[in-house]
Chains A and B, each alone.
Chain A
Amino acid sequence: MGKMYAELIRMRFLTMLAYRVNYYSGIIIYAINIGAYYFLWGAIYGGQQQMAGLSAGQMTAYVAIAWMSRAFYFNNIDQEIAQEVRDGRVAIEMIRPYNYLSVKTAQALGEGIFRMLFFAIPGMILISFLIPFHFPASLQAWGLYLLSLLFAFVINTEINLLTGVITFFLFRNEGMMRSKRVVVDLLSGLILPISFFPGWAQTVMGFLPFQAINYYPSVIFTGAVSEARALQMIALQIVWVLVILIPITVLWQQARRKMIVQGG
Chain B
Amino acid sequence: MIKIQNLQKEFRIHQARSGLAGAFRDLFRREYKTVKAVDDVSFEVAEGEIFALIGENGAGKSTTIKMMTGILTPSGGEMQINGYVPYKQREEYVRSIGVVFGQRSQLWWDLSPLESFRLLRSVYKVDELQGQRWLERLIEELDIGSFVSQPVRKLSLGQRMRCEIAASLIHKPKLLFLDEPTVGLDVLVKQKIREFLRNLNETENMTILLTTHDVSDIEALCKRVLVMDKGKLIFDGQLHDLKETWGNGTEVVFQFKQRTTIEQLQAALAELPCELLRENEYAIRVRIVQNHEMLPYVLSTVMTAFEVSDVKIMETSTEEIVRNIYSAPVEVSHYG
Contact = CB atoms under 8 A, between A and B. Distances in A.
B66 A18 contact: no
Contact of B91 (A11, A98, A258, A260): A98
B115 A99 contact: no
Nearest to A87: B104
A244 B279 CA distance: 76
- Residue from B91, B97, B104 having most chain A Cβ neighbours under 10 A: B104
B275 to A, nearest CB: 41
A95 B122 contact: no
B111 A15 contact: yes
Given A7-B119, A260-B11, A95 B108 contact: no
A252 B142 CA distance: 38
Contacts of A264: 62, 101, 103-104
B176 to A, nearest CB: 12
Interface residues of B, number: 31
Contact of A14 (B73, B92, B105, B111): B111
A142 B124 CA distance: 38
B104 A89 contact: yes
A99 B101 contact: no
Contacts of B97: 95
B72 A261 contact: yes
A185 B123 CA distance: 35
A200 B2 CA distance: 63
Given A14-B115, A97-B124, A259 B72 contact: yes
Contacts of B119: 4, 7-8, 11
Contacts of B110: 14-15, 18-19
A168 to B, nearest CB: 13
B233 interface: no
Interface string A93-134: 011111100000000000000000000000000000000000
Given A14-B111, A259-B72, A261-B71, A94 B101 contact: no
A97 B104 contact: no
Given A15-B108, A91-B101, A261-B66, A97 B73 contact: no
Contact of B66 (A11, A91, A99, A258): A91
Contacts of B103: 263-264
B151 interface: yes
- Residue from A6, A8, A94, A260 having most chain B Cβ neighbours under 10 A: A94
A41 B122 CA distance: 49
B94 interface: yes
B48 interface: no
A10 to B, nearest CB: 8
B71 A96 contact: no
A258 B10 CA distance: 11
Interface string A76-101: 00000000000011011011111100
Nearest to A3: B122
A261 B69 CA distance: 13
- Residue from B70, B72, B115 having most chain A Cβ neighbours under 10 A: B72
Interface string B99-124: 10101111010110001001100111
B90 interface: yes
Interface string A241-264: 000000000000000111111011
Interface in A206-264: 256-261, 263-264
B36 interface: no
Contacts of A95: 69-71, 94, 97, 99
A256 B70 CA distance: 10
- Residue from A4, A88, A99 having most chain B Cβ neighbours under 10 A: A4
B95 interface: yes
Contacts of B72: 259-261
Contacts of A96: 94, 123
A174 B89 CA distance: 33
Given A11-B115, A257-B73, A97 B92 contact: yes
A260 B124 CA distance: 25
Contacts of A259: 71-73
Contacts of A3: 122, 125
A7 B91 CA distance: 19
Contacts of A99: 91
Contacts of B11: 260
Pick the 4 closest A-B CB pairs, nearest first.
A18-B110, A94-B71, A7-B122, A4-B122
11 contacts: A4-B122, A7-B119, A11-B111, A18-B111, A18-B151, A91-B104, A94-B70, A94-B71, A97-B123, A98-B123, A259-B72
Given A89-B104, A91-B104, A97-B91, 8 more contacts: A7-B122, A19-B110, A88-B104, A95-B97, A97-B123, A98-B91, A260-B72, A261-B72
Interface of B: 11, 62, 66, 69-73, 90-92, 94-95, 97, 99, 101, 103-106, 108, 110-111, 115, 118-119, 122-125, 151
